[in-house]
Structure 1
Amino acid sequence: MTVKPRTFRFGVPWEDAYGYSQALQAGDTLYVSGQLSHDAAGEFVGAGDFELQMKTTLANLDLVLAHFGATRGQIVETTVLVRNLRENFDTTARLHAEYVGEHRPTSTVLGVADLALPDQLVEIGALVRLDVRA
């Protein structure tokens, strides 16, 4: 059986410039691209404020999940890319733990030298299984 993938886009300029979707559903698996801190108009949020960027990034992840009728409890893996990881690790860990609550997906945290936007400090991708009971 062939499955036609469903995609989701925010309509932000970098989706066309880079040629990607925010998420792609193939069967019961949802692949979520790295989310970042931006508002509905595609304006970057939180320059110089790691905690605000992390919270806004997670809120954008929630918007992607909601589009597919998914919940945080269906996330099976997160990948968190962080600039200045040593400086921002405790905040990353605290906010990630608050976000997932009692649910414990797998997660990889990587310190990176740079991200796509000049003021961007964090990016979070996810793998979601829609057939997992949340």
Structure 2
Amino acid sequence: MPAAQAPNRRTENFGAPAEKTYGYVQAIMHGDTIYISGQLAQDGADLVAPAPLDEHGKVTDYENMGDQMQQAYRNAETLLGRFGASLANVVEEVLYVLDIDAAFRVAGPVRKAAYGREDPQVASTLVGTPRLAFPAQLVEIKMIARV
């Protein structure tokens, strides 16, 4: 039986299978802070702009990085909206990427468009990692927002 949710906490999910199998929530609001789990380029059960893979399941091209970033920001915006917030409330983000160079080529324009300004007012960290949850996934973005 799940524990009762604390009165000063609220959670949100998308209904993705991993939420149940892995055991996590997409977002949790505790007090005036919203913690967004790492968002990927999912639209329902589908990965948007999956990276091409070779016969061994290794990424062969990182050109879809921008499209995946855009979808991850859209997903975060959806979650934040459920709490009456938006990307304007984000104070910190961490972008986990498979290829730093590919990320640097697209992150500036994608982030500026997502936040709606040339100088997004958010602390940001870009981290290269050898693998993410799904083989064709290129990026995952986690956030903390304050309301």
Whether TM-score is above 0.5 comes out as: yes
Select the residue among 100, 103, 124 that pairs with 1:107.
124
* Equivalent runs, 1:24-63 vs 2, <5 Å: 24-40=28-44, 42-48=45-51, 49-63=64-78
Retained in 2: the 8 A contact 1:7–1:25?
A: yes
After superposition, the CA RMSD in angstroms is: 1.4
Q: Percent identity?
A: 35
Pairwise CA distance, 1:4: 3.1
Retained in 2: the 8 A contact 1:3–1:26?
A: no
Max Rg structure: 2
What is the distance in 2 between the residues matched to 1:3 and 1:39? 31
**Residue matched to 1:76:** 91
Following TM superposition, where does structure 1 have runs of at least 4 consecutive aligned residues deviating by more than 6 angstroms?
none
TM-score between both structures, scaled by the size of structure 1: 0.89
TM-score between both structures, scaled by the size of structure 2: 0.82
**Residue matched to 2:145:** 128
Counterpart residue type for residue 31 of structure 1: Y
Select the residue among 7, 32, 41 that pairs with 2:11.
7
Task: Give 3-state SS (helix, strand or coil) of 2:107's partner.
Answer: helix
Pairwise CA distance, 1:3: 4.4
What is the distance in 2 between the residues matched to 1:18 and 1:100? 30
Q: Which runs of 5+ in 2 are unaligned?
A: 1-5, 52-63
Task: Give 3-state SS (helix, strand or coil) of 2:8's partner.
Answer: coil
**Residue matched to 1:96:** 111
1:101-129 CA-to-partner distances (Å, cap 9, x unmatched) read 33411111101111001100000011000
